[in-house]
């Protein structure tokens, strides 16, 4: 953990006692230049600990750019959480849905996309008995996935022990088989029960509903069904924010996109990374940009231009489908699109051999721009993604 903290600081030796780090001058934080420090000092912010207490950053924003302030306050909050032991790297994900909605298949796709792709995904799929946990590693952290059995008797069981099953949830994923229209009502009834439990527990996990098995329907039918179901889902969630994604295990990108977008929401550094990426986007004159890690998780993205194409291109390449055209030693792949645009995919390898993939769509064949500053700026935040 302390190497992650070290990444946020520009001091040679990080004090072992993190409380002492909080007592350091704000200029010990990376990105705190003299001008910024001056403005902050005038507002009685001298130590890192003082940054945690900033209540209205807007007042400071006139003189300091907002990304700078966000970086400094976020770094201070992360250090404070680690110092006080409030930081946990365990994230609890609850995956629920009626039986045969596709929960286990989705988990297996996330765990092993290559195997799922080779048609092995149905190998060990039995109806889930009761509650099962699966721990998967994403971003190097443990995420516990709760695959809640769908059968009636189990459903009653965990609805009667709400705290045990639904307490302290960071991410709630509800899976509906969109092609099984006969059971839509049963699925929605179940969703309603769980959403009510979260309200009762006063918990507000990031919530996402997967309209799954889209491969079994024709696109116009999907659209119609999506509109109808979304209306009902909206009624259930009411004021609570939620996302919906159309997914299929035969479209891995749809599953990874849905999880990437949800996991990003959990990160304290989400907006910082997105802002760094957006600044870079304008440098390469792009209208869509995204950055993936080597497991295929999209860490950040921005823009709309040729988004679907770029995402599929990046995702399939990263997960190896087109390895023959993007061998390990190649760093850059440029796809000329019909409309005189270019989609560029670059492999970026950091000093400690971590791999990232940057994709962007630009109107001209991009000139060479070094990615080192981008990664240097992003790395401390990537290290602290959770």
Ligand X SMILES: Nc1nc2c(ncn2[C@@H]2O[C@H](COP(=O)(O)OP(=O)(O)O)[C@@H](O)[C@H]2O)c(=O)[nH]1
Binding residues vs Mg ion (CB under 5 A): 103-104, 128
CA distance 314 to 344: 9
Q: What is the dihedral of CA 288, 292, 298, 301, to 10 degrees?
A: -20
User: Cβ closer to Mg ion: 5 or 210?
Assistant: 210
Q: Name the one range near ligand X by CB under 6 A: 41-49, 217-225, 242-250, 260-268.
A: 242-250
Question: Is residue 184 a contact partner of residue 194, using CB atoms and an 8 Å limit?
Answer: no
Among residues 230 and 251, whose Cβ is nearest to ligand X?
A: 251
249 binds, among ligand X, Mg ion, none (CB under 5 to 8 A by kind): ligand X
* Separation CA 343–CA 329 (nearest Å): 19
Question: By C-beta, is 108 or 260 nearer to ligand X?
Answer: 108
Residue 113 binds: one of ligand X, Mg ion, none (C-beta under 5 to 8 A by kind): none
Q: How far is the CB of 211 from ligand X (least distance, A)?
A: 10
CA distances from 8 to 16, 201, 291, 345, 385 (A): 15, 35, 21, 28, 12
> 347 contacts which partner out of ligand X, Mg ion, none, CB within 5 to 8 A by kind?
none
Quick check: 122 binds ligand X (CB under 6 A)?
yes
- With contact defined as beta carbons under 8 Å apart, do 144 and 90 qualify? yes
Six-digit token string for 274? 């997105």
Measured from the CB atom, the residue of 252 and 357 that comes closer to ligand X is 252
Smallest separation (angstroms) from Mg ion to the CB of 128: 3
Integer Cα distance of 83 and 214 in angstroms: 46
DSSP character at residue 354? -
- The interface partner of residue 215, options being ligand X, Mg ion, none and the CB cut-off 5 to 8 Å by kind, is ligand X
Binds ligand X by CB under 6 A, chosen from 68, 71, 212, 347: 212
Would you call 228 helix, strand, or coil by DSSP?
helix
Q: Does 296 bind ligand X (CB under 6 A)?
A: no
In Å, what is the CA distance from 216 to each residue of 213, 219, 248, 254, 344?
6, 10, 9, 14, 33
Angle at the Cα of 378 (from 377 to 379), degrees rounded to 5?
100
Cα–Cα distance, 110 to 116 (Å, whole number): 9
- Binding residues for ligand X, rule CB under 6 A, total 20
When asked if residue 245 is in the footprint of ligand X (CB under 6 A), the reply is no
**Which CB atom, from 243 or from 250, has the smaller least distance to ligand X?**
250
- The smaller minimum CB distance to ligand X, of residues 216 and 379, is found at 216
Among 215, 304, 364, 372, binds ligand X (CB under 6 A): 215
Shortest Cβ distance from residue 198 to ligand X (Å)? 20
Q: Tokens 């602290």 identify what position?
A: 384
* Exposure class string for 325-358: b at 16+ Cβ within 10 A, else e: ebeeeeeebebeeeeebbbbbbbbeeeeeeebbb
Q: How far is the CB of 150 from Mg ion (least distance, A)?
A: 7
Whose tokens are 């940009």? That residue is: 289
Does 257 bind ligand X (CB under 6 A)? Our answer is: no
148 lies in the site for ligand X, by CB under 6 A = no
Q: According to the binding rule CB under 6 A, does residue 226 interact with ligand X? A: no
Task: Return the residues of window 97-116 that contact ligand X according to CB under 6 A.
Answer: 97, 99-105
Query: Minimum Å distance from CB 134 to ligand X?
Result: 11
Which tokens belong to 207?
């919530």
Q: Comparing C-alpha atoms, which of 69, 46, 74, 45 is closest to residue 57?
A: 69
Q: What part of residues 164-193 is at the interface with ligand X (CB under 6 A)?
A: none
- Closest distance between ligand X and the C-beta of residue 188, in Å? 16
Could you give the 3-state DSSP secondary structure of residue 111? helix
In the complex, minimum distance from the CB of residue 248 to ligand X, in angstroms, rounded to a whole number: 4
Residue from 23, 88, 114, 125 touching ligand X (CB under 6 A): that is 125
Binding site for ligand X (CB under 6 A): 97, 99-105, 122, 125, 127-128, 150, 212-213, 215-216, 248-250
């Amino acid at each position: 953990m302390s190497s992650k903290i070290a990444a946020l600081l520009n001091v040679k030796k990080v004090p072992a006692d993190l409380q002492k780090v909080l007592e350091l001058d704000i200029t010990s934080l990376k990105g705190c230049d003299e001008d910024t420090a001056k403005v902050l000092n005038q507002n009685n912010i001298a130590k890192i600990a003082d940054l945690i207490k900033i209540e209205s950053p807007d007042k400071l924003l006139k003189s300091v750019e907002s990304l700078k302030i966000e970086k400094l306050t976020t770094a201070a909050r992360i250090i404070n959480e680690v110092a006080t032991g409030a930081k946990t790297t365990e994230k609890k994900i609850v995956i629920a849905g009626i039986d045969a909605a596709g929960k286990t298949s989705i988990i297996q796709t996330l765990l092993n996309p290559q195997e799922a792709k080779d048609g092995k995904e149905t190998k060990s799929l039995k109806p889930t008995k009761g509650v099962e946990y699966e721990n998967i590693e994403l971003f190097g952290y443990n995420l516990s996935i709760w695959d809640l059995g769908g059968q009636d008797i189990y459903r009653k069981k965990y609805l009667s022990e709400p705290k045990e099953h639904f307490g302290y949830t960071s991410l709630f994923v509800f899976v509906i088989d969109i092609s099984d229209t006969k059971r839509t009502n049963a699925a929605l009834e179940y969703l309603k029960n769980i959403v009510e439990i979260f309200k009762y527990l006063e918990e507000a996990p990031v919530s996402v509903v997967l309209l799954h098995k889209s491969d079994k329907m024709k696109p116009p039918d999907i659209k119609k069904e999506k509109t109808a179901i979304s209306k009902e889902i909206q009624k259930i969630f009411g004021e609570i924010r939620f996302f919906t994604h159309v997914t299929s295990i035969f479209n891995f990108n749809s599953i990874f996109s849905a999880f990437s977008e949800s996991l990003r929401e959990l990160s304290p550094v989400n907006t910082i990374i997105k802002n760094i990426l957006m600044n870079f986007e304008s440098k390469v004159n792009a209208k869509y940009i995204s950055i993936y890690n080597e497991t295929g998780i999209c860490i950040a993205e921005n823009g709309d231009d040729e988004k679907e194409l770029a995402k599929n291109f990046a995702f399939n390449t990263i997960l190896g489908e087109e390895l023959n055209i993007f061998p390990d030693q190649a760093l850059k792949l440029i796809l000329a699109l019909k409309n005189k645009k270019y989609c560029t995919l670059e492999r970026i390898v950091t000093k400690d051999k971590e791999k990232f993939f940057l994709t962007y769509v630009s109107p001209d064949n991009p000139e060479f721009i070094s990615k080192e500053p981008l990664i240097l700026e992003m790395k401390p935040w990537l290290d602290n993604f959770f």
